[in-house]
Amino acid sequence: MHSRKLLSSTSKFHQIHLIFKNPFLGTHKFSTQSTPPHSLPEDPQILTTQLIISYCKKGLLKEARKLFDEMLERDVVSWTAMISGYTSCYRYNQAWMVFCVMKREGIEPNEFTISSVLKACREMECCYCGAMVHGLAIKYGMDGCMYVENALMDMYATCSHSMDDACMVFERIQEKNAVTWTTMIARYTDRGDGLAGLRVFQRMLQEEVELSTFSCSIAIRSCASIRSHTFGKQIHAAVVKHGFNSNLPVGNSLVDMYCKCSCLSEAYEHFHEMPERDLITWNTMIAGFERSGSHWSLHLFSQMGSQGLNPNCFTFSSVVAACANLAALNCGQQVHGGIIRRGLETNMALANALIDMYAKCGNVNDSFRIFTKMPRRDLISWTSMMNGYGSHGYGREAIGLFDKMVDSGIKPDQIVFMGVLSACSHAGLVDEGLKHFNSMVVDYSVKPNQEIYGCVVDLLGRAGRVKEAYELIEKMPFQPDETVWGALLGACKAHGISYLGRLAAQKILDLRPNGAETYVILSNIYASDGKWGEFAKMRKLMRGMASKKEAGRSWIEVRNHVYSFVVDDKMGCAQIELVYRGLEMLVQHMKEAGYVPDSDCLLYDMEDGT
C-alpha cells in the first residue's frame, strides 16, 4: 500500500501554487486576471479535491493519485473523489483498495462514499465485498438513503447468484424512484429473464410511475430478449403517445426489438422513419440484417459510409459475419482492409469474426494466419479456428487445437465440444471423437446437450456403427429431439438400414408432422423394402406438401459480384448458358470417376418416377 508523502513546505501556499500550475484550471487565465473567479473555493483542500476530480475526468489517474497522496489533510470528500475517480475509469480494484485504506485511517464514509464503492463492488462482481459495505451502511444508518439503497440493490442484482437478495432490498425501499424501477428491470433482463423484467415494468405502471425514455428503452430491451413482438408493439405505442419517438436510445432499442423478433420489414420501417440516426442505429440495423439478409446488411454498410459515418468494431463484426454467410471472399478481404486501416485488427471479437469469415470462404490458411498472430485468444477464438479446421475436414488439426486450448488454461464449453465432435465426424475419427465425448463430463464437467448427442450419433452413423448409435440414443438422459433422430435417419439412409430408418423417420414425424423431406426418405425406405402399399400412403400424404418446401439456393462470388442459383434456374445471370455447360462437364467428370447420383431427396422429381 502507498505511503503518504510529506512535502518539505507545509504551507497552504504551496498547494495553491501547485494548482495554478495545473493546465485544467487554465493557468493563462489566472495570469492575465488580477483576481481568480469567485466560483473557485479558497480552501486549498477543496481546491485540491476539485483538481483531483478534473484529473480523473480526463483519465489522468496517476496525476490525480499523486495530488491525493501529497494532500496534507484529506477529508471524506477527497477520499470519495479518489474512489469515484477510479470507478469512473474502470479501475475497480484500485477504488476498493483506496476505500480499505480510508477505513484503516479511521475516516468515516458518507453516503456518497458508500454508493461509489458499491459501484466498484458491482463491477468487480464481488458480492462478498458488497455485503461488507452493506453492513457498514447499516452501521452508519445510511440504509435509508435513496442512492445507497439503489446501489445496494444493483450490487446484489448483479453479483448475487439469484435475484432474491436484490428483491429483498427492493421490497424494503419505501419510496422507489425511477432509478429503482429501471435498475430492477434491466438486471432481470441482463440475467436473461426479460419476462420478469416486464412484470416489474407492469408493476411500475400500476403504481403510476411516469414513463420516461429510460424506462421505455429498458422495457423494449426486455421485449427484445424474449422476442415478444406483442409486448414490444404495445410499448412502441406508448412511446409514440409520450413523444419519446425522437429519443435515440428508445428508437435504437425499437429497431433492435423488431430485428430480434424477426420483423425485419418493421425494423427497417422504423429505422427509415427515425428523425435522427447515430452509429448505434446503423449498427443495430446492420446486425439485424446480418442473420437473415446478409446482402442487405452489406448494402446498408456501404450506405452508412456515404452518410459520412465511421464504422466501429460493432459495425465490422456484423459486416464480417455477413461476408462469411455469403461466402463473399472478395468483399470480406476489402472489409478486412478497412479494419486494418482503422487499427481495429487487434480487437479480439473482430479477429474471431475474421477467422470464421476466411474459413467459411474456403481460405482456412488465412484463418490460421490471423489466429497465430493474435496476442491473446479467448474461447471463441479457439472455437472459430477449430470449426474452420473441422469444416475443411482437418479433424486431427482440430483435435490438436483442442489440446492446446486446454493447455493454455481455457475451459471448454458445450460449443467447443460440438466443434471437436463434428470435426471428428467429418474426418472419420470415430474413436478420437468418442474419447472426447466421454471425457466431456468426466474431465471437464460439461453436460452434453441434444446437439452433441446428435453429433455423436452422426459420428457413429457415418462410420456404419448404426446399432451403437441407436443404443446411445436409448441411453440418453433426456427425450431425444429431431436433431438426434435426424442424425440416425441420415446414417440409416447412407447404410441402407431400413428397420431403424423407419423408426427414426416415424419419431421425427411425431415431433414435426409437416416435414416434407422426412416423408420422402421414409417413402424411399418403403420402396427399397418393396412395401408398395406403405409407399403409396406416404406419397398421398406428401401431395400438396412439396410446395411448402423452400427451394435450396446456392451462390458464388465472381469478380466482386454474387451470383445465386436455384434448381433449374433460368432467370440468373447473363452467362447462364455458360454455367450450365460448365456444370454438364463437371457431371460428366464425376460420372467417369464412378459417381452415382443420389436421388433420395429429390422432392420435385418424385412424380416422374425417377
Applying CB under 7 A, which residues contact DNA?
49, 53, 76-77, 80-81, 84, 87-88, 110-112, 115-116, 119, 146-147, 150-151, 154, 177-179, 182-183, 186, 212-214, 217-218, 221, 224, 247-250, 252-253, 256, 278-281, 283-284, 287, 313-314, 317-318, 321, 348-349, 352-353, 356, 378-380, 383-384, 387, 413, 415-416
- CB count within 10 Å of CB 488 equals 28
| Residue closer to DNA, measured from CB, 94 or 247 | 247
Query: Are 28 and 36 spatial neighbours (Cβ–Cβ below 8 Å)?
Result: no
What is the distance between the terminal CA atoms of the chain, rounded to a whole angstrom?
82
CA 5 to chain centre: 47
Place of cell 440416425: 488
Instruction: Indicate the DSSP class of residue 531.
Output: -
Q: What cell does 487 get? A: 442424425
- With CA atoms as reference, report the closest residue to 156 among 203, 201, 121: 121
Smallest separation (angstroms) from DNA to the CB of 472? 24
- Check: CB of residue 51 under 8 Å from CB of residue 67: yes
Query: Minimum distance from CB of 12 to DNA (Å)?
Result: 20
For residue 561, which phi and psi values (nearest 5 degrees)?
-130, 135
* 112 vs 268 by CB, closer to DNA: 112
Containing 577, the helix (H) or strand (E) segment is: helix 576-592
Nearer Cβ to DNA, position 180 or 523? 180
Considering the complex, what minimum distance in angstroms separates the CB of residue 596 from DNA? Answer: 34
Radius of gyration, alpha carbons of the chain? 32
State the Cα–Cα distance between residues 566 and 594, nearest whole angstrom: 26
In whole angstroms, how close is the CB of 101 to DNA at the nearest point?
Answer: 16
- Closest approach of Cβ 257 to DNA, in Å? 9
Closest by alpha carbon to 370, among 358, 361, 362, 383? 358
Instruction: Provide the sign of the torsion angle of the four alpha carbons 283, 284, 290, 294, taken in this order.
Output: negative
| Shortest distance, position 474 Cβ to DNA, whole Å | 29
Whose Cβ is closer to DNA: residue 388's or residue 480's?
388
DSSP characters over 486-511:
HHHHHHHHHHT-HHHHHHHHHHHHHH
Give 160's contacts (C-beta < 8 A, 6+ positions apart). Answer: 127, 166
| Interior/surface letters 498-522, b for 16+ CB within 10 angstroms, e for the rest | bebbbbbbebbbeeeeebebbbbbb
Comparing CB distances to DNA, the nearer of 15 and 281 is 281
Taken as a whole, the chain contains a residue count of 610
In the complex with DNA, the residue whose CB is nearer, 111 or 432, is 111
Report the residue number, 188 or 565, with the smaller CB distance to DNA: 188
User: Least distance from C-beta 412 to DNA, angstroms?
Assistant: 8
User: Minimal distance in Å, beta carbon 225 to DNA?
Assistant: 8
Smallest gap from Cβ 476 to DNA, in A, equals 23
Q: Provide the grid cell at 272.
A: 427509415
Residues 159 and 121 sit within 8 Å (Cβ to Cβ)? yes
Nearer to DNA, 293 or 464 (CB): 293
Residue closer to DNA (CB basis): 55 or 214: 214
Q: Which H or E run includes 137?
A: helix 127-139
Helix (H, G, I), strand (E, B) or coil at 278: coil
Q: Which is nearer to DNA, 152 or 504 (CB)?
A: 152
Q: Quick one: CA dihedral 573, 578, 580, 582, positive or negative?
A: negative
Nearer to DNA, 15 or 217 (CB): 217
Rounded to a whole number of angstroms, the minimum distance from the CB of residue 106 to DNA is 17
Minimal distance, residue 429 CB to DNA, in Å: 20
